[in-house]
Amino acid sequence: MKSKTVSHLNDAVEHFQLVLDHCPVSHPDHATALTNLAWARLQGYIRNDLEDIDATTSLFRDALALRPQPYPDHHLSLYNLTEALIWRHKKKRTAADIWEAARLYHELLPLCPEGTYLRSIVAGKNGVDYVIGGCNKLPIDASDEGIHLRRVVLELCPLGHQLRPRALNEFAQALQTCFDQHGSIDDLDTSIQLGREAVSLCPEGQADRDTYLNNLAVSLASRFNHQGKPNDLDEAISFHEGVLHLRPVGHKYRDFSLDNLGSVLVQRFNKHGDIDDITRAISLHREALTLRPPGHQHRDITLNNLALALDTRYDKSHVREDLNEAIDLYRESLRLMRLDHPERHKILFNLSSVLCSRFEQTQKNEDVEEAIVLCQQSLEALHSLHPDRHHSYFMLQEAYMSRYCVQYKPADLALAHGDGSALEAYSTFLELLDAHLSTRSSATSRREAAAAFQYARSLPVDAAACAIRHDNLPRAVELVEQGRGQQWSLASRLRTPVEDLESAKPTLARNYVELSKLISNAAQNSATITDRAAADREATEYRRLTRQWEAAVAEIRNLPAFSRFLLPPSYEDLQAAARQGPVIILVASEYSCSAIIVPTSGEPYHVPLPSVTLADLTNIKDRFARAIRDSSRMNPGESRTDLIVLSRIIWDQIMLPIVNVLEHVLKLKRRSRIWLCPTAAFTSIPLHAAHPFQTKADRSGKEPCLEDLYICSYTPTLSALIRSRQLMKKRVSPSFVAIGQGQPGAGKGKALLTVDSELELVHKLVPATANRTTVSGDKATRAGALSALQQNIWVHLACHGKQDPKQPYDSHFVMRDEHLTLLDIMERHIPQAEFAFLSACHTAVGDEETPDEVIHLAAGIQFSGFKSVVGTLWEVDDSVAKHVVESFYTYMFRDLKDGGVMDCTKAAWALNCATHSVKTKVPLEQRMVFVHIGV
């Protein structure tokens, strides 16, 4: 600047300072004087003639403080301060200045109407656009303030703004980082929603599309890791494929894309087992490693990823070269990774795992010793509440077990099983899994989450086995109940009766009931949403409702008489299930197989089953499936030799030790009722069919089988049996409907020629006082069947039934038009219902992925309100099933002639009598197929 101009500027600053000196704080023009002086000083700073920008900024800040909203010049003072902050940022690049400018613009823009001069200045490239660009270049800050400011920046970029995609991406990244640090799934969901919008606003060919697509894929993969949604993994792979295409050889970020795609392919291999996925993943990681030579800052990450892929392939193919290379790579990754790296503990227990695998192959002691040390180091690296500690504990247990299996050191077995704190750990795991599942907005997604959790299948039985080892049988009962049937438990909470609460706190009761209804409705709505972005929004809303519901439950528990409201039941609570006969819980764990008998009163009894292992149960299940298939091709009169052999095995190895306790310890009378509650692998075995098939030692007759001795029923859980009994108090006038569909629509199955005659038979056997109706033919549609289920308290259903092993909630009864699915039935609440006979195939068999969730049609019917259900374990032969049906209803209603009433609690006895009475007419597998569930 010319010296004369500088002189004039200095004069102006001097005179404005004099004006300010004569306008004290109380003077009406003090703010104007501050502003004039500040602008003069700012002009000097802009022209590099004044250095003290901090004093200038303070002057503008003081002026703003004197012109609060709704002062007429408030918007001008906001603008003035932003100008000073922007100029200081241009010179000093101070992050605090650009953030403050963003906050001020957020307040200023609404005060500048479209078309005004100030708006044109504020909205220009040197105004808000500069601020947005400056914010977008700052490092990700996941603090509350950082998240708030990212939200502010996004609001400065309305739809159509050229910088909106970048602002969306930066906000999404901040939320992803926040999720990584704190674990709130809402942050991750919002990050994905923002990422989707950023990608949608950046079409093919635009420069930043690969970045936005990559970040969205990373977030989707992260959500898959935490929630197990298959669609998330599929999308993540698709997007990573797209990113890799946009980053050809030579691209500066190709190494990241190779690693990212390889990692998600490993995850898909773990889920589906396609060898092409793991082969390609290894190839991608190898290419990434060539782009990260020694000295590269991310080489340790790629070494770990490649090692994990090789380790994963070894688990499938057992090629020793993969195992040895994985060990070398893990060691190199560990050497390169800094000690405070947040992912270091994962490499420690990954290396421990592969060393245990090699020890089992070579039995070299140094491998297992190193594995134990590595697990201990991983535990030391994690604070007590870190969510990954359970992985380290699990691997340490596996290491001790590996050494025990080779060296048989009793101390290793004790170390593997741990001390009493293991029980607390299992309980905590189950609580966390319950909380995790409760955030999912539909029954289907809850099951997917349970199936995705690596240890979910064995967790309840392992917990119970741990309690048994510690001689704490009541706790074993509590833990197995807490961990089994969580799908039903979560759903039943929303149907918990609140009569007592309504008397004590009616307003709180109404709030709880209303929130329960909202959550139920939200869950039903989410099941029909196919748009991924809409599904994400629905999931976020569902969790918001869930938090409100949890707050209401917490408030209820603060009441003196409701401290255990909806908490996992205690043993004393659960013993109510045995009020009318003992409940036998069969526990199948990799550590041991045993039974726990819950008697009508007193402590439970432990029955070890030393002759059977988890592998034996799997073998029995598979042999049973083959024997049933073979029997279906035999003539009725042919001997079912394989079934007889298997029934003897079930008797000798499983049920006989239990019967001995029932007879000689509990002194249970013959023909008393018992309830079987199988877990894990036991759920796939027809325990009620246990039979010695041999003559008594004194030749006086045949040895009795289980169903000669006792009336057997099943129950999915103890709580399910208790709920059914509680609902029995509400008796209503009987009404009976027979629903049949023998002519399903095209493509829905072959015709069932005996359905109509079965319906006629049932109609004839049901007493006329029961208000009998029949729904069949064109009326037996999905809607017609649902209506009949809701309007009647006794139901007989004859049609095709199909259990879907992959999606059990899609298991269904085949109607004329659409399938009547398990999900349809679950969504109905029919508390007055009493009895259902499901004369259809596969109605009482669950899925293999989550056997302890007991997800099948009969369980769904029971959950909807039916207290007593007859179901089937495999395919029913219609030509002989009618004999069982006829005999069943004959026994069921035999006493009505003498003035008795229809009583659904007689169903187990009637089924027992029926299967005995038709021995000469019905082959063995068709007598075994029917089971009773409930009261």
Give 874-898 as a DSSP string.
Answer: S---HHHHHHHHHHHHHHHTGGGGG
Place of tokens 């087992």: 273
Fold that domain 139-246 belongs to in CATH: 1.25.40
Q: How confident is the model at residue 332, as a pLDDT? A: 94
CA distances (Å), 173 to each of 53, 227, 239, 274, 306, in order?
33, 19, 17, 32, 26
Give residue-wise pLDDT tens across range 75-85.
Answer: 888 888 888 88
CA–CA distance, 237 with 916 (Å, rounded to integer): 57
Q: How confident is the model at residue 385, as a pLDDT? A: 58
CA–CA distance, 814 with 378 (Å, rounded to integer): 53
Contact assessment for residue 477 and residue 615, using Cβ atoms and an 8 Å cutoff: no
Residue 410 has pLDDT above 70, yes or no: no
CA–CA distance, 400 with 368 (Å, rounded to integer): 8
CA distances (Å), 428 to each of 258, 451, 535, 617, in order?
38, 19, 30, 29
Exposed, middle or buried by CB within 10 Å (0-12, 13-18, 19+), for 305? buried
Contact assessment for residue 867 and residue 893, using Cβ atoms and an 8 Å cutoff: no
CA–CA distance, 153 with 142 (Å, rounded to integer): 15
Which is more confidently placed, 252 or 460? 252
DSSP string, 425-461: HHHHHHHHHHHHHHT-SSHHHHHHHHHHSTTTTTHHH
CA dihedral 25, 31, 33, 35 (to 10 degrees): 140
Contact assessment for residue 640 and residue 629, using Cβ atoms and an 8 Å cutoff: no
CA proximity to 758, closest of 814, 812, 796: 796
CA–CA distance, 870 with 884 (Å, rounded to integer): 11
Measured from the Cβ of residue 1, the count of other Cβ atoms closer than 10 Å reads 13
CA–CA distance, 434 with 436 (Å, rounded to integer): 5
Q: What share of the chain is helix, strand, coil (3-state, %, to 5)?
A: 65, 5, 30
Residue ranges per structural domain of the chain? 139-246, 497-565, 740-934
Highest mean pLDDT among 153-162, 606-615, 623-632: 606-615
* Pairing verdict, β 819-821 and 812-814: antiparallel
Whether residue 68 has a cis bond before it, omega within 30° of 0? no
| pLDDT (average), residues 206-235 | 91
Give residue-wise pLDDT tens across range 51-97.
Answer: 678 888 888 888 888 888 888 888 888 888 888 888 888 888 888 88
Q: Largest Cα–Cα distance in the chain?
A: 131
Question: Per the structure block, which two tokens stand in for 342?
Answer: 């947040």
CA–CA distance, 113 with 118 (Å, rounded to integer): 9
Contact residues for 470 (Cβ-Cβ < 8 A; gap 6+): 420, 422, 423
Residue 334 has pLDDT above 70, yes or no: yes
pLDDT band at 699 (very low <50, low <70, confident <90, very high): confident
Q: How confident is the model at residue 539, as a pLDDT? A: 76
Dihedral of CA 477/482/485/491: which sign?
positive
Q: How confident is the model at residue 421, as a pLDDT? A: 56
Q: How confident is the model at residue 579, as a pLDDT? A: 94
Give residue-wise pLDDT tens across range 558-569.
Answer: 887 777 777 788
Q: How confident is the model at residue 91, as a pLDDT? A: 80
Q: How confident is the model at residue 5, as a pLDDT? A: 56
**pTM, whole model, 2 decimals?**
0.69
Class of CATH domain 740-934? alpha beta
Least confident of 183-197, 484-498, 625-639, 760-774: 484-498
Percent of the chain with pLDDT over 70: 86
pLDDT band at 361 (very low <50, low <70, confident <90, very high): confident
Residue 130 has pLDDT above 80, yes or no: no
CA–CA distance, 141 with 819 (Å, rounded to integer): 51
Q: How confident is the model at residue 48, as a pLDDT? A: 67
CA–CA distance, 811 with 856 (Å, rounded to integer): 7
CA–CA distance, 324 with 201 (Å, rounded to integer): 47
Distance of CA 59 to the CA centre of its chain: 56
Least confident of 828-837, 890-899, 900-909: 890-899
Q: How confident is the model at residue 237, as a pLDDT? A: 97
Which is more confidently placed, 494 or 333? 333
Residue 596 has pLDDT above 80, yes or no: yes
Give residue-wise pLDDT tens across range 624-634.
Answer: 889 988 988 88
Least confident of 133-142, 183-192, 287-296, 547-556: 133-142
Q: Three-class SS string for 664-704?
A: HCCCCCCCEEEEEEECHHHHHCCHHHCCCCCECCCCCCECC
| pLDDT (average), residues 679-683 | 86
CA distances (Å), 578 to each of 74, 287, 512, 584, in order?
75, 62, 30, 9
Rg from Cα positions in the chain: 35
Least confident of 412-416, 620-624, 807-811: 412-416
Measured from the Cβ of residue 407, the count of other Cβ atoms closer than 10 Å reads 11
Q: How confident is the model at residue 284, as a pLDDT? A: 97
| pLDDT (average), residues 112-124 | 76
CA–CA distance, 933 with 675 (Å, rounded to integer): 9
DSSP H/E element including 128: helix 128-136
Residue 690 has pLDDT above 70, yes or no: yes
On the CB side of 654, CA atoms within 13 Å amount to 31
| pLDDT (average), residues 443-470 | 72
Residue 529 has pLDDT above 60, yes or no: no
Q: How confident is the model at residue 1, as a pLDDT? A: 44
Which is more confidently placed, 682 or 431? 682
Q: How confident is the model at residue 2, as a pLDDT? A: 47
Least confident of 24-38, 272-286, 367-381: 367-381
Give residue-wise pLDDT tens across range 663-680.
Answer: 999 999 999 999 999 988
Highest mean pLDDT among 45-49, 114-118, 737-741, 819-823: 737-741
Exposed, middle or buried by CB within 10 Å (0-12, 13-18, 19+), for 626? exposed
Give residue-wise pLDDT tens across range 534-544.
Answer: 777 777 777 78
CA–CA distance, 491 with 484 (Å, rounded to integer): 13
Q: What is the mean pLDDT of the chain?
A: 84
Domains 139-246 and 740-934 share a fold: no
Exposed, middle or buried by CB within 10 Å (0-12, 13-18, 19+), for 19? middle
CA proximity to 722, closest of 675, 672, 790: 675
pLDDT band at 148 (very low <50, low <70, confident <90, very high): confident
Buried b (16+ CB within 10 A) or exposed e, 430-464: beebeebbbbbbbbbbbbbbbbbbeebbbbbbbbb
CA–CA distance, 88 with 53 (Å, rounded to integer): 7
Q: How confident is the model at residue 455, as a pLDDT? A: 58
Residue 929 has pLDDT above 80, yes or no: yes
